[in-house]
Amino acid sequence: MGLIALGNCNLETAGKLGAALSGAHRADDPVVLDLDLVVAPEVVPGLRRMLRACLGAPCADVQLCVTELVGNVIRHVGEGTRVRVRASRNADRIRVEVSDPAPRARLLPRHATADDETGRGLALLDAMALRWGVDQGEASKSVWCEIAWDEPTQMM
């Protein structure tokens, strides 16, 4: 699959790209986003817009969590890493997964001081998510989180 300049998409285009990339889905299919991309800081805003378009509603908590997960890959595995970003939805929660090819890269929560500019990502994830974890495989790992979703009150 080719790369997409997600940062250059408007909301309507992001929704169309999300539908095209995630394949044909039935109305009852819980997967709302499933794509492979090469991560760099400039793709993160487009990824957030695409996620919102795919969910069809404001989703600041979900966007924050995916930003932190992708940001961790950029910082700790490296810019230019190919990842899979997947989001699924059921009646009361959104599950976001970010998979990368670094199975041995460990996630260690840091205790950032007031002056630290980094080190708060996993603390934010822990505060925002109902639960989160890491699935480690032989050749990759997936960091996932589940965020509460109350669709009727979040619809535009």
Domain of residue 110 covers 6-154
28, part of any domain? yes
User: What is the pTM (predicted TM-score) of this model?
Assistant: 0.73
Selected residue with higher pLDDT from 84 and 29: 84
Q: What's the CATH code of the domain at 48? A: 3.30.565.10
1, part of any domain? no
Q: What is the residue-averaged pLDDT of the chain?
A: 78
59, part of any domain? yes
Report angle CA 122, 77, 98 to the nearest 5 degrees: 55
Q: Quick: pLDDT tens for 61-118.
A: 999 999 999 999 998 899 999 999 999 998 889 999 999 999 876 665 666 566 655 6
15, part of any domain? yes
CA gap 73, 143 in Å, rounded:
10
Is residue 77 a contact partner of residue 100, using CB atoms and an 8 Å limit?
A: yes
Tokens standing for residue 6: 């997600």
CA gap 29, 36 in Å, rounded:
19
- Report the domain count for the chain: 1
Closest CA to 17 of 51, 67, 68: 51
